[in-house]
Structure 1
Amino acid sequence: MNVGLINGLPGHPLFVHGAVVLVPLTALALVVCALWSSAARRLNWLLPGMGLVPLVLVVLATEAGEWLEERVQESALVEEHAELGPGLTPWAITLFVLTVAVWLLGRVGPRREGEHSGEADRPAEGGTAGVARLASSVPARVAVSVIALVVAVGAVIQVYRIGDSGAKATWQDSFSTSRSGDGR
């Protein structure tokens, strides 16, 4: 699949702009949902979807960026950007995995609440009751929240670093600070 061109134009900027918006938005949603499980329940399947879309955009941006790198003038700035770009993929994968984990924890929460209302008298289905109890425990939720916060901050920092290097590679010395045109 050639993602290098879209409608005759380089696809890299299109995918990048989507990733630049959605990675931080997903990171924010992840942290909010990790800290407040009711938010994860409200977002339901949208939370893992929010993790999947930026992951796809990051992969597409990387592929299209590699295609574009072969077709632009070489420079130290382009090389720096090209080296940083693929570094966002592990962060995007981890964001996706954590959105799924937080979503699952949000689904376990209501079952735990049901145990306190007398529904715990039902026989456990296999070992799922023990796993649900462990997953919804305070230490597990704190660990997931801390990991989510660290990954969210790391992903946003990486987006900034890559974006900054891409902007410099694109715009450095390619415009004037004074107006051009009709001499105003």
Structure 2
Amino acid sequence: MNTINGLPLHPLLVHLVVVLVPLSALMAIAAVCWPAARARLGIFTPLVTLVALIALPLTTSAGESLEEQVGPSPAIERHAGFGEQVIYWVGPLFALAVLWWALHDERFMTTLHAKIPASEKLSQRAVAVALGIATVVVALGSVYIVFMTGDTGAKAVWS
């Protein structure tokens, strides 16, 4: 099914990705930089990022179907090139969001220390700093790649 009510599915699904990826990135950055936000967001950051991650292959598949219908063009190829990279940013963003949540979840860390006594010796602060930097970089990269994908897609439609 490539259409809903006669409309191509890709432009409809794109809105889900265009909203959820930047929202996930913003939530991840807030969780890293602001402890109060981290406490309030909790598991919601990884969950929102997971929904974005699930939406990506659906959107990509619908886009490939749409490309077959309209035919190739340099603008569509450029858009597709950026679109294929989005998953390589959002996948790691999801993994980092889960790790960041787990690192700051008391129940998870208590269980980890009970099962792996050596884990207490690891510098949780050093891990948190490295993980935080990686999360912010990947979050910003994911917003950039979604912006470029959307921009080239809009130009492909309206040019």
The number of aligned residues is: 157
Native 8 Å contact 2:21 2:90 kept in 1:
yes
Match of 2:98 in 1: 100
- CA deviation string 1:49-107 (max 9, x = no partner): 11101111222111100110000143211121122211101111111111111110120
Native 8 Å contact 2:20 2:52 kept in 1:
yes
Runs (5+) with no aligned partner, structure 2: none
Match of 1:52 among 43, 50, 53: 50
Match of 2:122 among 134, 142, 151: 134
Native 8 Å contact 2:89 2:138 kept in 1:
yes
1:68-147 map, 5 Å:
68-108=66-106, 125-127=114-116, 129-131=117-119, 134=122, 137-147=124-134
Residue type matched to 2:55 in 1? L
Structure number with larger C-alpha Rg: 1
1:28-47 map, 5 Å:
28-47=26-45
Native 8 Å contact 1:80 1:165 kept in 2:
yes
Residue type matched to 1:22 in 2? L
Match of 1:153 among 140, 143, 151: 140
- CA deviation string 1:132-159 (max 9, x = no partner): 5637x21111101100111011111101
Residue type matched to 1:143 in 2? A
Structure richer in helix, relative to its length: 2
Query: So what's the TM-score if we normalise by structure 2?
Result: 0.88
Match of 1:7 in 2: 5
Query: So what's the TM-score if we normalise by structure 1?
Result: 0.77
